Amino acid sequence: MRVRKAAPATVPSTSAAPVQDVSTLPTLVLDAKPLASGTFDQIGLPSGGVTAGTSTGPGSGGGVGTGNGTGIGPGNGPGLGPGLGGGTGGGPYRPSGAASAPRIVTQVKPTYTNDALLRKLQGTVVVEVIVTGEGLPSEIRVVRSLDPGGLDEQATAAVSQWRFEPGRLAGTPVNVLVTVMLDFHIR
């Protein structure tokens, strides 16, 4: 749609400065473009979130990255990352109302090292462990250290031998991240 603006009327001036005759300027013709046309270029990641209908990357459905849906990354749905649905995907679940916590079936106690006994070290080693859907510990990581190279290693070695009944989500075994506290006390 083309719109032609009428030339403004000349207004007599009371100042002594010379006035340019406005009627000699060319009229301005603009292409009117409705705001809801939906045609614009989006280059790079959008700032402030994904705008509806825009897909940045080889994915589809308005997301950013290779996934399907409005999410960011290779996942499907409105989530972030490689998971499905609306969560932050790719990682293990945490025990919550939706995912149940794993239950210990077999537990091996950590042992003291001779060096820790001589130094009379006591305290707690805190580790995070992902319990897989098969009930096996994986990716054991020390969160709070007591004795690097001594009791920490004993704690991770003991937890690696534990066996669990896996956590479940809607009846299906899933990977669950849990925190384990291992106490070392001299008796």
Query: pLDDT per residue over 94-115, tens digit each?
Result: 988 789 999 999 999 999 999 9
What total of structural domains would you count in the chain?
2
The verdict on residue 98 lying in a domain is: no
**Considering the domain boundaries, does residue 1 fall inside one?**
no
Residue with tokens 């897989």: 132
CATH number of the structural domain spanning residue 165: 3.30.2420.10
Given a contact cutoff of 8 angstroms between Cβ atoms, the answer to whether 81 and 73 are in contact is yes
Domain assignment present for 155: yes
Judgement on whether residues 121 and 150 belong to the same structural domain of the protein: yes
Structure tokens at 131: 């319990």
Domain identity same for 123 and 165: yes
Torsion of the alpha carbons at 115, 139, 130 and 124, rounded to the nearest 10: 20
- pLDDT tens string 119-143: 999 999 999 999 999 999 999 999 9
Asked whether residue 62 is assigned to any structural domain, the reply reads yes
| Residue-range definition of the domain harbouring residue 133 | 103-184
141 within a domain of the structure (yes/no): yes
Write out pLDDT tens, residues 156-173.
999 999 999 999 998 999
For residue 76, being part of any structural domain is answered with yes
Residue 46 has pLDDT above 50, yes or no: no
